[in-house]
Amino acid sequence: MKIVTKTTASIFLYLFLITAFCDCSVLKVGTKNRGFAKGADIGWLQQMEATGYKFYGDNGKEQDCFKILKDHGINTIRLRTWVNPSDDRASGHNSKAETVAMAVRAQKWGMRVMINFHYSDSWADPGKQKKPAAWEGHDFPQLLKDVYDYTYDVMSDLKKAGVTPEWVQVGNETPGGMIYPEGSVSNWPQLAQLINQGYDAIKSVSPSSKVILHVDQGNNNERFRTWFDNAKQHGAKYDVIGLSYYPYWLEGNPDYTLSIDDLGNNLNDMAARYGKEVMVVEVGGEDTKPQNTYDMLVAVQQKVKAVPNGKGLGVIYWEPQGARSWSKYPLSAWGDDGRPTKALDAFLVK
């Protein structure tokens, strides 16, 4: 039997404590960005700045939009990317180079980054999923290669720039599919293959990035069950279920209090039914009703945080800085005075 002296025991205790301390330090480093995401999609920001739009903080002083967002609790930036966009102010820009530049800028401000692949030259959403002009006429095997190569290219440029997106979307609001007509939900086997090309390209460059699949009308459980049941049946690969929630665009009464419980129930059901994390990746309310939008945002965050087992990841406002005076968009969180409205304060609520 080996005899352990007090001195030896002290050394063992010291080494144990040092080891434990080091393990905790590593744990903290590895999980420091794992908190609740409070985000802003700001794809218009570059154009707004280029056209001379000025942003002002609560104190009335001109400031960098990133600082204003950060001062209001925003810790995550979502950026869309289009294949070969035009220079049109409303429906253009968001090229690969512009998206990478914005991602670098976001990271310098200490923000987490989400990249949103539309797989189009302009807006892709429930009403349209037009394939990029350069991909027109390609047969399906070539389209699969197009998706992989383009996704890999953008992800590689982000990596070269020192940016590792925490989340990456394969498609934007895809209840009907993406890259029509080949990727329509009328042909789920093909849609799943296109999704998986995006997934594989993302993971090959950035294994830690979580892949999101995104459907609109986050309060509509039947819509989500139908879509994600098909995704599961056909082997579509993903990590996170992304939802849009815009009471303003819902049929009937846009009062969020009539649909917020449905959103919460759907979030819980998605997490339980598919064993995935969930996230509201787009939300917005009327800029002319800042108190109502504030209340809605607080309620949405509460619903996401209430998802069991910490599977509710966060909430992202779509273009909060996209003031109506510049964009004509009615659901920003910015006033005519160039300052954020009270709505943005919702992200300061613990």
Catalytic-role residue among 277, 282, 286, 319: 282
> What separation in angstroms does the CA of 277 have from each of 36, 270, 304, 305, 327?
12, 8, 10, 11, 33
> Cα separation of 333 and 206, whole Å?
33
Q: Which of 162, 153, 104 has its CA nearest to residue 132?
A: 153
Distance between the two ends of the chain, CA-based, in angstroms? 56
Residue 35 burial by Cβ neighbours in a 10 Å radius (0-12, 13-18, 19+): exposed
Check if 49 is active-site.
no
Q: What is the 3-state secondary structure (H, E, C) of 7-30?
A: HHHHHHHHHHHHHHHHHHHHHHHH
Element holding 235 (H helix, E strand): none
Residue 142 burial by Cβ neighbours in a 10 Å radius (0-12, 13-18, 19+): exposed
Q: Which of 345, 314, 311, 335 has its CA nearest to residue 239?
A: 311
Element holding 248 (H helix, E strand): none
Residue listed under structure tokens 């939009």: 65
- Could you tell me if 222 and 240 are in contact, meaning their C-beta atoms sit under 8 angstroms apart? no
Query: Looking at this protein, which amino acid is placed at residue 146?
Result: D
* Residues linked to residue 130 through DSSP beta bridges, in sequence order: 180
> Cα separation of 211 and 276, whole Å?
11
Catalytic-role residue among 166, 173, 182, 286: 173
- Could you tell me if 278 and 243 are in contact, meaning their C-beta atoms sit under 8 angstroms apart? yes
Q: What is the DSSP letter of 180?
A: B
Check if 222 is active-site.
no
Please give the positions annotated as active site: 173, 282
